[in-house]
Amino acid sequence: MGAGDFESRWLAPDVNAVWTRFLQVTHRLEHQIDRRLQERHGITHTQYEILVRLADAEDRSMRMSDLADSIVTAKSAVTYQVNKLSELGLVERFKCDKDNRGVWVKLTDPGLERLEQAAPCILSLVRELFLDAINCDQAAELDKLLGTWSDNLDEHDRHPIGDGPGEAGA
């Protein structure tokens, strides 16, 4: 087997290193945020994200599906978390809509308060760990990269099946 064969089946060492490091860094970031959020504010990162998205949204409310898309989890997970947040009084559910099957979730005043209480803590962490590392040029570059990745993922979602070599190598 030649080198070309190797690289078609595996990744070139340096590229591989980038990918591995990417996975590690993202996981570590998640863990740090999660841990701090739990310890200091008693909420999950997912819950926090839900509060953030709601606070940013028009009328402080969103539909379940949009919420699920926005935080990138299964719908069932959103149902679960919204129930919890609702029990805590941080969000409210509304059926009010032209679409009778839709459910709106709205951030309550206590919810916003809770968010404003937690946000500085975790934003400072995000700054410290993530944002301070990048200057303006890099930010632009990263933004461009994220855009391309995002487009790739969109594209991939549009072709649900059978791309790539599949079970190649068997």
Partner DNA sequence: CGCGGCTGGTTCGAATTCGAACAATCCTAC
Partner DNA sequence: GTAGGATTGTTCGAATTCGAACCAGCCGCG
List of residues contacting DNA (CB under 7 A): 31, 34-35, 44, 46-47, 63-65, 73-84, 93, 98-104
Residue 85 corresponds to which amino acid?
A: L
The DSSP code sequence of 89-135 is: TSEEEE--SSSTT--EEEE-HHHHHHHHHHHHHHHHHHIIIIITT--
- 129 in the Ramachandran plot: left (φ > 0), alpha (ψ -120 to 50) or beta? alpha
The residue range among 57-65, 86-94, 100-108, 118-126 that interacts with a second copy, by the rule CB under 8 A, is 118-126
Residue 119 lies near a second copy (rule: CB under 8 A): yes
Closest approach, Cβ 115 to a second copy, in A, equals 10
The Cα–Cα gap between 86 and 88 comes to 5
42 binds, among DNA, a second copy, none (CB under 5 to 8 A by kind): none
96 binds, among DNA, a second copy, none (CB under 5 to 8 A by kind): none
Q: What is the CA radius of gyration of the chain?
A: 20
CA 88 to chain CA mean position, Å: 23
Of 3-42, which residues contact a second copy (CB under 8 A)? 9-11, 14-15, 17-19, 21-29, 31-32, 40
88-44-148-163 Cα dihedral, nearest 10 degrees: -100
Q: Which residues bind a second copy (CB under 8 A)?
A: 9-11, 14-15, 17-19, 21-29, 31-32, 40, 49, 70-73, 116-117, 119-121, 123-134, 138-139, 141-143, 145-150, 152-153, 156, 163-170
